[in-house]
Amino acid sequence: MTHVYASSIIPASVDQVWKVVRDFNALPAWHPSIAESRIEEGRPADQVGCVRAFRLKDGGFIREQLLALSDYDFSCSYAILESPMGVENYVAVMKLSPVTDGNRCFAEWYADFDCAPEREAELTASIGGGVFQGGFDALKSRFGG
């Protein structure tokens, strides 16, 4: 099992950041790698079990299922159902926490998955750096950081 973790401080309140990332279908609005997204079967984007199908700007196609969403904990988890990355049993969590020293948010994004051993370093770098940190960097820019 491979574990990937990224964290960041975002210069906005946890409520402000949660309003942006809570919508499971809103990736194109805040993540620079995502071209388009839709929720299958017209289900609500905050309904546990809904599936988002999205296309990356590089043309890749991914389907993910929302496993949990908590407005109390400011967290969500999802599983990849279909992806060109060569990962299996992929489950990720994004969690936000307030930073009590200032109007800031501590953001964590991590995933566990199985992959071919020879691809582990590449996938860890692309998921942790490109996907997770790339998303955090875009959120920091959005909120003036």
Q: How far apart are CA 82 and CA 66, in angstroms?
A: 13
In the chain, % of residues over pLDDT 90: 94
Residues 6+ apart with CB under 8 A from 60: 83, 84, 85
Binned at pLDDT 50, 70 and 90, residue 6 comes out as: very high
Predicted confidence (pLDDT) per residue in 41-99, tens digit: 999 999 999 999 999 999 999 999 999 999 999 999 999 999 999 999 999 999 999 99
Q: Which helix (H) or strand (E) holds 71?
A: none
Binned at pLDDT 50, 70 and 90, residue 106 comes out as: very high
pTM (predicted TM-score): 0.94
